[in-house]
Structure 1
Amino acid sequence: MRTAEAVRNGHPDKVCDLVADALLDAYLARDPNARVAIEVQGGHGKVTAAGEVTTREPMSFEEIQGIIQHTYEDIGYQEKLRVETLIAEQSGEIAAGVDTGGAGDSGIVSGYATSETPSLLPKELALARALAQMIDDPSRRERFGPDGKTQVTLDDSGKVASVVVSAQHLGDLEAARQELRKIVAEVLGDDLREDAKVYLNPAGLFTIGGFTADTGVSGRKIVQDQYGPNIPVGGGSFSGKDGTKVDRSGAYFARYLAVRLVRDHGITSAFVQMAYAIGVPRPVWTRIETEPKESAPKLSDTQATVTEIIETLGLRKPIFTERTKRGHFGFDGL
C-alpha cells in the first residue's frame, strides 16, 4: 500500500512558501539576475521574512509588506498582518563561488517520473493533489476557507483504500461534509473502492484556520511538494530560492531528466539523483535508475552546469509563485 498527502494553499506552511516565492518573483521581475534566499515564518498575526538578497533593484519595507499582505489575501484570508524583515546581502564568500557559475550551496537533489499517471507523478500524490486543488477552486470559497489537507492511500492494485480530507469550512459542518463527499466521488471516480474508508473533517469543526489557528514555516512541505513519502527527496526546500540555489534548480533539472526518460524513451519509471559542491558548476555525482533497467538510454546533458540549467528551464523569470500554487511538478514540461 502507498499513501501521500497534499496541503491546500491556505495551510500555514504553504502560505509561507507562497509568501517566499511571491517575494522571489517580485525581485526577479525587477532584476532577473537577483540572488534570493528568503525563509518565511508566520503565525498569530505576524510574518517574518528573513534571508539574503543581492540585487540591483532592492525593495522597500513597504513594498515587501504589501506583497506579503496581498499574497495572504489572495489565498483567501482577510486579517491584517504585522510584518518583520531580516534581510541582508548574500555573503561575499558564497557570492565568490556563484560569480564563477558555481552552485550556491552543496547538496543532494532527486528527480522522479512514472508512467502511471498523465502528470508522471505517483498516483497517490496525484490524487491527493487533485482533491486539494478542487477544494481550492475559487468557486468553492462560499463553502470552504483556505486551510486544509488531503491524504490518499492506495492498495496494491492501485485502488483507493482510504481517503482523508480536512477542509476549513464556512457554516454548517454536515453541509461541508456533503460537498466534500461529492468532490471525493468526482476526483477519485472508479479508483475509489466500494469499501474504502472515507474520513471527511474527522475531528469535527474546522472553522478557524491559517495563521489564526497555527504557525507555518517555509520549506516544511518538501515531500508533498515533490513525489510523496515513497520516493527519496533531497533535504533542501524550494520556496524563496532563485535558480543559483541547486536545492531548487538541481531538483527541477533532475525531474526534467526523469520526465524525458519516461515521456520520450518509453521508460516505466526513472529516478535521478545528483550531488553538488558549493562553488562547482557541475554535479559531482549523478545516479540514474530506471524500470526496466535494460532500456535506459544515455542522456547527453546530465552534467549540465548550473547556468545551463537556469537557461534551459527559464529560471530567471518570475514563475515560482504559480508553481508553488499548483505543485512544482506535473505541468509545463516538469
Structure 2
Amino acid sequence: MRSDYLFTSESVSEGHPDKVADQISDAVVDLFLSKDPEARVACETMTTTNKVVLAGEIRCKGVFENGHWAEGALEEIEAAARATVKRIGYEQSGFHWQTFEFENNLHAQSAHIAQGVDESGNKDEGAGDQGIMFGYATDETPDYMPATLYYSHRILEKMAEDRHAKAVSFLEPDAKSQVTLQYEGGVPVRATALVVSTQHAPGYFYDGNEGSPELYKELRDYVVGVMTDVLPDGFITGETKIYVNPTGRFEIGGPDGDAGLTGRKIIVDTYGGASPHGGGAFSGKDPTKVDRSAAYIARYLAKNVVAAGLAKRCTIQLSYAIGIAEPLSIYVDTHGTGTVDEAKIEALLPQLVRLTPKGIRTHLGLNKPIYQASAAYGHFGRKADGDFFSWEKTDLVDQLKAAL
C-alpha cells in the first residue's frame, strides 16, 4: 500500500442535469413503493431543455396492472416529477418546473424477467439481474467515507442549503466540486487543490474582459468561505490551489445547458473512485434489483467491519446471477489493515445477514419510499434516520467483535 500520495474526488449538486434525472427516477420509485411495497420499478429519466422523458419497466398494484394504468396514476407520476424539479429550484426560461414538456414511456415489466425474480412454490426470490457489487468503508472520516468525496459532497450541500435559505442571492442549482488531498502515512493532511464551478445569476463572473470583478469577487469569497468552513482547520494553506468557475461565465446550466440521464454519476453516488464500482446504477430501481440493494448491504457490511476495529479500510464484493437467490461469491479485502484473516470475515458475514435479495430487503427494510433522499450528495456516508439510510447503521459491531 502506498502511504504518501495525492487523491481526488468530485461531487455534483442536486441541480446537475444527471442528478435531476436521478431524483426524478427515485421520486417514481418512492411513489410506487408508497402504493405497493412489492412494486417492480426500473425507471430511467432523460432531461434536456424544458423537457423530461421517462422510460422503463414497471409493475405496481393500484397503479399499473395487467397493462393498464389506474385512474389518476399518470397524473401522479407527472406531479412527482414536477415537484422534484420545483424542490431543486429550477424556475428558469430553459428549464422550469411548471412549463417543461413531460413524456411518460413507462410500460409493463417483461414477463421473462418477472419469472426469474418472483417467488413461486419452493423457489426463493431471485436476483433481478446478474452483476457484481462493491461496498467500501474507511476510517478517514467519522462517516467512514473517503475524505476527498466526503468534503466534495459537504461543500455542495452547504451551498445548496444557503441557496434554499436565500442566504445568498447569486447561486443557481447546477454546481460541481472537486477536492484533492495530500495523504501522508495513509492519512489526509492537507488540501492541494479545490475546485467549484457553480451556476450563477447574471453578471457574477469576470474573465478579464467581460463581467464584473466586484460581483465575481463576491461569489468567489463566498465559495472560499464555504470551503474553509467545511474542511478541517489547517487543510487549506497558502499553497492550496483554489479554482472558482475557472472557465468564466456559468449562467446557462442544468438540463438547459447539458442533457441529463439517470445513472451517469455512479462514482459520485458511491466512493469517489476510492473503491471499485460494479457498473450498475442505483436510482430508478426498486430494491429487488441487486445493483442497488446488494451495493447497500455491501456498504453496510464493510462499514461494520471497520467500525468494529477489524480493519482501517475494507472492500467487499458480492456477485449474483439473474433469477438465483444466493450470491455466487463473497470477497473481503482489508488492504493490509486488517486485524483478522479476511477468509474468516467472508465466512462470518453470511451468518449475520442472509445475502439473498429478499434477505437484504428484509434486514435493511428497503421496501419503503425512502430513495429520493439518496439521489443527491451520495448514497453512502449519510446519517441513518429512522427508515432512511438503514445501510449506514453499525448495529453488527458487537456481533463481529464477539465472533472474531
- Structure 2-normalised TM-score? 0.80
Within the candidate set 337, 342, 346, 1:292 is matched to 337
* Aligned equivalents of 1:131, 1:30: Cα separation in 2: 36
The one-letter code sitting in structure 2 at the alignment partner of 1:60 is A
Partner of 2:211: none
**CA-CA distance at 1:168 after TM superposition:** 1.0
Partner of 2:12: 7
1:211-226 alignment, distance < 5 Å: 211-226=255-270
The one-letter code sitting in structure 1 at the alignment partner of 2:28 is L
User: Once structures 1 and 2 are overlaid, which stretch shifts more, 95-104 or 169-178?
Assistant: 169-178
Within the candidate set 218, 221, 229, 1:186 is matched to 229
Identity of aligned residues (%): 40
Partner of 1:329: 380
Matched, 1:163 2:194: yes
The one-letter code sitting in structure 2 at the alignment partner of 1:153 is T
**CA-CA distance at 1:302 after TM superposition:** 5.9
Matched, 1:107 2:134: no
* Aligned equivalents of 1:266, 1:194: Cα separation in 2: 38
Q: Does structure 1 conserve the Cα–Cα contact (< 8 Å) formed by 2:12 and 2:377? A: no
**CA-CA distance at 1:326 after TM superposition:** 4.0
The one-letter code sitting in structure 2 at the alignment partner of 1:71 is T
Partner of 2:365: 314
* Aligned equivalents of 1:202, 1:212: Cα separation in 2: 20
2:298 match: secondary structure: helix
User: Once structures 1 and 2 are overlaid, which stretch shifts more, 190-199 or 35-44?
Assistant: 190-199
**CA-CA distance at 1:301 after TM superposition:** 3.5
Residues 76, 156 of structure 1: alpha-carbon distance in 2 compared, 3 angstrom cutoff? same
Q: Does structure 2 conserve the Cα–Cα contact (< 8 Å) formed by 1:27 and 1:57? A: no
* Aligned equivalents of 2:279, 2:47: Cα separation in 1: 21
Rg comparison, structure with higher value:
2
* Aligned equivalents of 1:277, 1:243: Cα separation in 2: 16
* Aligned equivalents of 1:162, 1:325: Cα separation in 2: 23
Structure 1 segments of 4+ aligned residues over 4 angstroms from their partners: none
**CA-CA distance at 1:60 after TM superposition:** 2.5
Q: Residue deviations 1:134-165, cap 9 Å, x none?
A: 11112246231110100001123321100000
1:272 match: secondary structure: strand
Matched, 1:261 2:312: no
1:224 match: secondary structure: helix
The one-letter code sitting in structure 1 at the alignment partner of 2:318 is M
Q: Does structure 2 conserve the Cα–Cα contact (< 8 Å) formed by 1:5 and 1:151? A: yes
Matched, 1:304 2:355: yes
The one-letter code sitting in structure 1 at the alignment partner of 2:262 is S
Q: Does structure 2 conserve the Cα–Cα contact (< 8 Å) formed by 1:110 and 1:273? A: yes
Q: Does structure 2 conserve the Cα–Cα contact (< 8 Å) formed by 1:143 and 1:176? A: yes
**CA-CA distance at 1:37 after TM superposition:** 0.4
Residues 141, 313 of structure 1: alpha-carbon distance in 2 compared, 3 angstrom cutoff? farther
**CA-CA distance at 1:28 after TM superposition:** 0.6
Partner of 2:36: 31
Within the candidate set 55, 77, 95, 1:64 is matched to 77
**CA-CA distance at 1:292 after TM superposition:** 2.2
* Aligned equivalents of 1:302, 1:194: Cα separation in 2: 49
1:239 match: secondary structure: coil
- Structure 1-normalised TM-score? 0.96
* Aligned equivalents of 1:156, 1:250: Cα separation in 2: 31
1:232 match: secondary structure: coil
Q: What is the alpha-carbon root mean square deviation over aligned residues?
A: 1.4
* Aligned equivalents of 1:69, 1:199: Cα separation in 2: 34
Q: Residue deviations 1:35-94, cap 9 Å, x none?
A: 100011110111111001101121632222111111111101021211111111111111
Q: Mark the runs of 5 or more structure 2 residues left unpaired by the alignment.
A: 1-5, 64-71, 120-124, 206-215, 385-390, 393-404
* Aligned equivalents of 2:331, 2:282: Cα separation in 1: 21
Residues 271, 105 of structure 1: alpha-carbon distance in 2 compared, 3 angstrom cutoff? same
Q: Does structure 1 conserve the Cα–Cα contact (< 8 Å) formed by 2:192 and 2:241? A: yes
The one-letter code sitting in structure 2 at the alignment partner of 1:73 is K
The one-letter code sitting in structure 2 at the alignment partner of 1:285 is S
Q: Does structure 2 conserve the Cα–Cα contact (< 8 Å) formed by 1:286 and 1:302? A: no
**CA-CA distance at 1:303 after TM superposition:** 5.1
**CA-CA distance at 1:192 after TM superposition:** 1.7
Matched, 1:150 2:182: no
